Structures are given as structure tokens and as C-alpha cells.
Amino acid sequence: MRQLNKLQSILFVVGGILMVIGAGCFAFMWHQNIFCWIFLIGAILFTLMQSMQVYSGRNITIRRLRRIMALSNILFLLSGLLMVDQAYQLLIPLFDESGPNGYMNYLTYIYNKWVILMLIACLLECYTTHRISSELKNEDHADTLQK
């Protein structure tokens, strides 16, 4: 697995910290219109830096885990976009045009769903991070034994 350079590692950590600060402040309803953007910027940094860690090996398990990690990154970005929508209610006009139950449909399908996406993304991220670490150790151990 390709390691990040010093600047990329710093951006990766800063992105993670911004995500935690943004999600925490947004959940406690403190300046939601600002912290939704902070979370989204953190998610973009985190996702970009994580996508730069390329695996060039042939281990199918690690490749599969990297695909799952890419899915979790997409879910982080979607949760950030849903936070922005919750703060600014950008999608309500689309639902108002759909009839008399438009606002109820918005509340049912969109409002506060960022929490679900972020929870799924966090679980997938934790799982893949630990599994990839374990698989890379096994791969290094197998390479050492072959030499």
C-alpha cells in the first residue's frame, strides 16, 4: 500500500478532525449553517487523501476491502451533502412540487438521514481499516517467510 507523504498525511488527519468537529457541532445544533461546510470540507480532504493510498499488490482481499473503503468515502461525502441540505433546506422545492405531501416526503426521506449514512460509513471505515492492516501484516509475514 502506497504511503502518503508528510503533507498528505497532515491533510488526511486535518480532514478527519474537521469531520469530527463538524459532525459534533452540527449534531448539537451549534451554528449548523457553518459546521455543515466544515464537515463537508473535512470529508473531501479525508476522501481525497485516502483515495491517494493506492494498493498495487495482487491480494484480492485487500482490493475488495479498498472497494468497500471507497464506498464508505462516498457515504461520508453524501452525509456531508445531506448536512448542507438540512442546514439550508435546498431540496425542499423539489419535494414541494411533488404534491400536497411533499414536505412530509422530504422529512421522511431526506431530513436527518445524514446520521444513518455517516454511521454506516464509520462502521465500514473501521472494519476496512483494521482488516487491511491485518491483511498487510499477513502479506509482509508471508513475504518474509518466502525469503
Taking the C-alpha atoms of residue 39 and residue 33, their distance in angstroms, rounded to an integer, is 11
Cα three-residue angle 128-7-2, rounded to 5 degrees? 45
Q: Which three cell numbers stand for residue 37?
A: 461546510
Please give the single-letter amino acid code of residue 120.
Answer: I
How many CB atoms within 10 Å of residue 40?
Answer: 21
The pLDDT of residue 8 is 96
The pLDDT of residue 145 is 79
As a whole number of Å, the CA-based R_g of the chain is: 19
Q: What is the 3-state secondary structure (H, E, C) of the chain?
A: CCCCCHHHHHHHHHHHHHHHHHHHHHHCCCCHHHHHHHHHHHHHHHHHHHHCCCCCCCCHHHHHHHHHHHHHHHHHHHHHHHHHHHHHCCCHHHHHCCCCCHHHHHHHHCCCCHHHHHHHHHHHHHHHHHHHHHHHHHHHHHHHHHC
The pLDDT of residue 127 is 98
Taking the C-alpha atoms of residue 74 and residue 80, their distance in angstroms, rounded to an integer, is 10
How many CB atoms within 10 Å of residue 42?
Answer: 22
User: In a structure prediction context, what are the per-residue pLDDT tens digits for the chain, which is 147 residues long?
Assistant: 788 899 999 999 999 999 999 999 999 999 999 999 999 999 999 999 999 999 988 899 999 999 999 999 999 999 999 999 999 999 999 888 877 888 888 988 899 999 999 999 999 999 999 999 999 999 888 777 776
Taking the C-alpha atoms of residue 54 and residue 139, their distance in angstroms, rounded to an integer, is 16
Domain layout of the chain by residue ranges: 6-146
The pLDDT of residue 114 is 95
